[in-house]
A = this chain, B = another copy of it.
Amino acid sequence: MSLYIQVKDLLLARIAKGDWSPGNIIPSEMNLAHELGVSQGTVRKAITELVENNILTRRQGRGTFVSNHDVHRALFHFFHITDNKGHKVLPDSRVLSCRRQPARRNEAALLELPVATEIIRIERVRSIGAKPTMIETITLAAQDFADLDKKTGIDLPNTLYELYETKYGITIHSADEKLRAIPASKHDAQLLGLPVASPLLEIERVALTLDKTPVELRISRCVTKNHYYHNTCF
């Protein structure tokens, strides 16, 4: 393996281990180069790849920082619903329930947990401009999110990924989404104020950490009358 890949892996390991945490500065390129006995150019190339992966952020004149995966990031990387003009809108959310339960078989499989492991299941309705637009069912491994179910509806923030990072030290880095069209169930239809069997866009998202461990399963069923799921491909 080339030297800069080894440096990259070493930096990654330190970040994953928590030696350097989100928002904090890492040593300068020169310091790392001296410490590791390589040239600055090699450290630079390793850091460049991590910056391209959104894991580090460079700020000229200041230093290199572990990325903060904040609201902005969550919004831009993981939230793809836009209005008809293509503008992203952050919907409000109302929690319907938040309970501990044994994992169903498919949930356990997607989260790579043993069957019937205890999970936390959150159900909420998300609205755009007072109009109910999405129903979300969120599944988390209970062991990783102690006491999350004890929070009241108001304590559960709109943007959960920020909470995962700040309270539980779990940073969501990528996600895998599967989309399909499904008919609204009676329950869905009632919550969303639609006729039964109206077409809904279902998004099944598995959110992953840096080392590709699945952390959250989120199934969203969306009304796509005034909104789209927007994706740009290169």
Contacts and interface: CB of A to CB of B under 8 A. Distances in A.
Interface of A: 52-54, 77-78, 80, 173-183, 197-202, 204, 222, 224, 227-234
A173 B227 CA distance: 26
Contacts of A224: 179-182
A212 to B, nearest CB: 11
B230 A175 contact: no
Contact of A182 (B176, B179, B199): B199
Nearest to A226: B180
B228 A174 contact: no
Given A173-B234, A233-B77, A234-B174, A201 B228 contact: no
B233 A180 contact: no
Given A201-B201, A234-B54, A182 B181 contact: yes
Nearest to A79: B233
Given A199-B199, A200-B199, A201-B201, A231 B173 contact: no
